[in-house]
Structure 1
Amino acid sequence: MVNIVNVRIDERLIHGQVAAYWTNNLNVTRLMVIDDLASQDEIQKMALKMACPSTVKLSILSVDRAVERLNDPTAYEGERVFIVLRGTETLEKVIEKGAPIKNITVGNMSNKVGSTRVYHTVCVTQDDIRRFRELADKGITFTAQMVPSDEPQNFIDLIAKL
């Protein structure tokens, strides 16, 4: 079983908070970016490699390849894996395809047309809310937390207030 130390939704994928605070706080040895577009885009892959701390290994995988690797008991043996996804659509696919993920930290989801601010820099659309609720009904837990020093908030409770 892959040792997943955190799964985070963050549209920015790898950036200062992820690269500095989260990887250090969680003692991460591998960052896994799950994103179909980024896995096929050489420029995005280069930017993600530059943003990743030099002490941390990096995997940039499509949804299908990520689920395959996460379900391989010999993959990433002895590593502490931190998964970063761009949004709820990718998360939903990863869960539906059988990734062993039960707890998700919700980070940055930018403001867009039709979205509502829920928490700091987390803005959700009606589609996001539907996905969060459906996944929560399947036993997935969601926590809103920008940086490790912030008090974790129950994200489903936050969207229930909308």
Structure 2
Amino acid sequence: MVGIVIASHGDFADGIKMSGSMIFGEQKDVQSVTLQPSMGPDDLKAKLEEAVATFEDQDEVLFLVDLWGGTPFNQVNGLFEAHKDKWAIVAGLNLPMLIEAYASRLSMNSAQEIAAHIIETAKDGVKVRPESLQPKEAAKAAPKQQATGGQPGSFKYVLARVDSRLLHGQVATAWSKTTNPTRIIVVSDGVAKDDLRKQLIMQAAPVGVTAHVVPIDQMIKLAKDDKHFGGQRALLLFETPQDVLKAVEGGVPLKSVNVGSMAHSVGKVQPNKVLAFDQNDIDTYKKLESMGIKLDVRKVPTDSADNMDNIMKKAQAELDKNKQQ
């Protein structure tokens, strides 16, 4: 695996590394190196060398630095000269660049190949609202991905996910990169009636992917007769397991459901950091399991799957305890 060193002035490298982990999961062979006011160039160089020494493969290293010509870049560039046949440096670090680098490591084994690939994503991540302020050459509509997968007249369901946050960073980047949808469909009666939330969701779609918000009954109709979207790769997002159950009972042919996050509210218990349940939630998930639907508990694709039955047992015990009090 290509090792990645994130280098910056001040604590920027540490912060963006943390942000990347929140969105794409913890990463192997990634180190952040920061230039502090008390340090000199030689001190920074030593820290860079120490970071590279921790990597399993020290022949393939990608450096992501904050500023071209700054001290972090200059010290990285000095090390680069002895390895320029394989190492690579990209300056102008931003979060889209870092996430794309993480995703690229899943299929690319060369630091220089990844470096060339992530530049466009880094540029595309710089946007402005109102859109009229965007430079004309950058305001051209991004090309839409071609519909692939599935048979004419039917969706290919690449992911169905329960996530109270719906379309956010982990979905727009990590899950979209690994499932490659052409459509992201938020299935929610409540959101379908909220024009502001609908607009924000459609604007949050990754480049080349179209986002929709539909009520549950409309999703059921599309699943049965999707001639307008046949052949598309669909990623479905649900706020609650109850919405999933209603969709499945209506005829949406899901085989598995990824459980990402469920927000805490009054009357719910929280057996882990991201999932909160009441009795209805537990009963609903058990019914989905009884219908043969696999429950995959993961925040991001690189996480190991948690055991949903064990999580629900813990939640049930907490609910029962609360009843007795």
Name the TM tier (shorter chain).
over 0.9
Matched with 1:127 is 280
Secondary structure of 2:173's aligned partner: helix
Matched with 1:76 is 229
Instruction: Give 1:121's aligned amino acid.
Output: V
State the 1:119 CA deviation: 3.5
- Following the alignment from structure 1 to structure 2, what is the Cα–Cα distance between the partners of residues 63 and 22? 22
What are the within-5 Å matches in structure 2 for residues 83-122 of structure 1? 83-122=236-275
- Following the alignment from structure 1 to structure 2, what is the Cα–Cα distance between the partners of residues 8 and 94? 13
State the 1:78 CA deviation: 2.8
Matched with 1:32 is 185
- Following the alignment from structure 1 to structure 2, what is the Cα–Cα distance between the partners of residues 9 and 75? 25
The CA RMSD over aligned residues, in Å, is: 1.5
Structure 1 stretch displaced more, 66-75 or 20-29:
66-75
- Following the alignment from structure 2 to structure 1, what is the Cα–Cα distance between the partners of residues 271 and 231? 36
Percent identity for Structure 1 against Structure 2: 28
* Match among 201, 205, 219 for residue 52 of structure 1: 205
State whether residues 71 and 100 of structure 1, in contact with CA within 8 Å, keep that contact through their aligned partners in structure 2.
no
State the 1:141 CA deviation: 1.3
- Following the alignment from structure 1 to structure 2, what is the Cα–Cα distance between the partners of residues 121 and 64? 28
State the 1:20 CA deviation: 1.0
* Match among 3, 16, 23 for residue 176 of structure 2: 23
- Following the alignment from structure 2 to structure 1, what is the Cα–Cα distance between the partners of residues 226 and 201? 26
State whether residues 187 and 236 of structure 2, in contact with CA within 8 Å, keep that contact through their aligned partners in structure 1.
yes
Could you list the runs of 5+ residues in structure 1 that have no partner in the other structure?
A: none
- Following the alignment from structure 1 to structure 2, what is the Cα–Cα distance between the partners of residues 28 and 119? 29
Q: Deviations over 1:41-61 (max 9, x none)?
A: 211111111211131011211
Instruction: Give 2:158's aligned amino acid.
Output: V
Instruction: Give 1:153's aligned amino acid.
Output: D
Matched with 1:61 is 214
Higher relative contact order, structure no. (Cα contacts within 8 Å, ≥ 6 residues apart)? 1
State whether residues 92 and 135 of structure 1, in contact with CA within 8 Å, keep that contact through their aligned partners in structure 2.
yes
1:11 corresponds to 2:164: yes
Q: Which runs of 4+ in 1 moved over 4 A?
A: none
- Following the alignment from structure 1 to structure 2, what is the Cα–Cα distance between the partners of residues 75 and 120? 40
1:143 corresponds to 2:296: yes
Secondary structure of 1:59's aligned partner: strand
Matched with 2:71 is none
Matched with 2:309 is 156
State whether residues 223 and 251 of structure 2, in contact with CA within 8 Å, keep that contact through their aligned partners in structure 1.
no
Could you list the runs of 5+ residues in structure 2 that have no partner in the other structure?
A: 1-153, 316-325
- Following the alignment from structure 2 to structure 1, what is the Cα–Cα distance between the partners of residues 289 and 310? 11
State whether residues 202 and 210 of structure 2, in contact with CA within 8 Å, keep that contact through their aligned partners in structure 1.
no
- Following the alignment from structure 1 to structure 2, what is the Cα–Cα distance between the partners of residues 140 and 157? 17
- Following the alignment from structure 2 to structure 1, what is the Cα–Cα distance between the partners of residues 218 and 202? 18
Instruction: Give 1:11's aligned amino acid.
Output: S
Secondary structure of 1:6's aligned partner: strand
Higher helix share: 2
State the 1:92 CA deviation: 1.7
TM-score w.r.t. length of structure 2: 0.48
Equivalent residue pairs, number: 162
- Following the alignment from structure 2 to structure 1, what is the Cα–Cα distance between the partners of residues 206 and 297? 24
